[in-house]
Amino acid sequence: MTAILDDTPSPPLPAVRGRRPAGVLVAGTLLALVVIAAVCAPLLAPYAPDTIDLSSSLVGTGHDHLLGTDSSGQDLLSRALFGARSSLMAPLALLAVAGVLGVTLGVLAAWRGGWVDVLVSRLTDVMYAFPGLLFTVLIIAVFGAGMTTSVLALGLAFTPTVAKYTRSLALSEARKPYVDAYRVQGMGGLRICAAHVVPNLARAILGYLVVLFGEALMSLATLSYLGFGAQPPSSDWGLMVQEGQAAIVQGAMLPALVPGTAIALVVVCFNVVGVWAADRLGRQ
């Protein structure tokens, strides 16, 4: 053991500000490419994502199929490109749901205090008693599988986190002098919140949602993988992994690895960019 704990000055914490802008640049570029690919999927994809060709089932990489095919002979590159659309849009929708609900509850709890605050925090406690995806799984067990259910259920599951964050921000914002000034002018609480408090917090909350994006994408892909989210014939990445898994034992790994790599890549990039963006947006 060396004496490094000893005499070195504390370094800036890793994964925080100013960390390897080069890494952020690379990750950002990759994300931009993925988004462009998703938007331009019809132009870029060599095949329609649902072209079934059983004669070319489980073909490896080659001229006809750059990333090979799955067991139904569907071109994996084309599927992955089209799959990017739902795989990126769904987390966005999820965060929109969590954002609207979470900010509303958080501001309400901070603004009204008292029993409203207690109620929100009790609800949060109960939801936090369900580890991981179990709260979402319960909702899906009741309402049935499907992308819409998954997005709404996960949106609900992410709500307490957003609410908690918003509440802490709103608490300090509500103590600022301008709030009293508006009150004195006779402005209602709802209007002060909607017109001033929330817009002032928007940047920080947005930054927080960017950080949550990676987790949102991971959670949705996991649900799709379990068969709770996207349903066939969707090309959602999580579902593609599930469909491709059976071929692994036959030695064909691409059907599962192509979408799996896509998920991991996008999440990594989002985590790198997210931390940086949250830091930039958090500093006003």
Partner 1 sequence: MALRLALRVGRRLTGVLATLLAASFVIFAAVYAAPGDPAVFLAGGRDKLTPERLAQVRAEYHLDEPLFVQYGRWLWDCVHLDLGRSFKYSDQVADLVAARFPTTLQLVLYATVLFVVLGVGAGVLAAVKRSTWVDSAVVGATTLAASVPSFVAAIALVSFFGVRLGWFPVTGSGTGFLGTVRHLTLPALSLALGALALVSRVTRQAMVDAAASDHVEAARASGVPERDIVRRHVLRNALGPIVTMCGLVMAGMLAGTVVVETAFGLSGIGSLLVGAINTHDFPVAQAVLLLMVTGYIVVTTLVDAVHPLLDPRVEGAHR
Partner 2 sequence: MSEIRVPGTGGPGAAPDALLEVTDLTLRLPGAARPVLDSVSLTVAPGEVVALVGESGSGKSTTAKAALGLFPPGAVASGSVRFDGAEVLGLTGERLRAHRARGVALVHQDPRAALNPVRRVGDFLVERGASRSEAVELLASVGLPDPERRVRQRPHELSGGMLQRVVIAGALAARPRLLLADEATSALDVTTQADILALLRGLRAEHGLGLLFITHDLHLAAAYSDRVYVMYAGRVVESRTAGALFTAPAHPYTQGLLTCSPTLGDTGTPLHPIPGRPPSLSDTFPGCPFTDRCAHSQPTCETWAPIQVALPDGGTAACALLADSDRPVPSVGSWSARRAERVGTAPSNGTDTAQVIHE
* 249 scored as a contact of partner 1 (CB under 8 A): yes
**Residues between 144 and 183 with contacts to partner 1, criterion CB under 8 A:** 145
Q: Which of 4, 7, 12, 22 binds partner 2 (CB under 8 A)?
A: 7
Q: Tell me the angle at which helices 21-39 and 76-112 cross, rounded to the nearest 10 degrees.
A: 110
Binding letters toward partner 2, positions 8-47, x by CB under 8 A:
xx--------------------------------------
Q: Give a three-class secondary structure readout of 14-31.
A: CCCCCCCHHHHHHHHHHH
Residue 177: is the preceding peptide bond cis (ω within 30°)?
no
Give the H or E element holding residue 169.
Answer: helix 147-174
CB closer to partner 1, 131 vs 186: 131
Q: What is the 3-state secondary structure (H, E, C) of 29-67?
A: HHHHHHHHHHHCHHHHCCCCCCCCCHHHCCCCCCCCCCC
Q: Would you put residue 73 in left (φ > 0), alpha (ψ -120 to 50) or beta?
A: left
Q: Least CB distance from residue 256 to partner 1, whole Å?
A: 5
The C-alpha atoms of residue 179 and residue 90 are separated, in whole angstroms, by: 36
Could you tell me which stretch among 71-79, 97-105, 184-192, 240-248 binds partner 1 (CB under 8 A)?
Answer: 240-248
Q: Which of residues 205-224 bind partner 1 (CB under 8 A)?
A: 214, 218, 221-222
C-alpha of 208 from chain center: 11
Q: Which residues of this chain interact with partner 1, rule CB under 8 A?
A: 1-6, 8, 10-11, 14-15, 122, 125-126, 129-134, 137-143, 145, 214, 218, 221-222, 225-228, 238, 241, 244-245, 248-249, 251, 253, 256-257, 260-261, 263-264, 267-268, 271
Q: Which residues of this chain interact with partner 2, rule CB under 8 A?
A: 3, 7-9
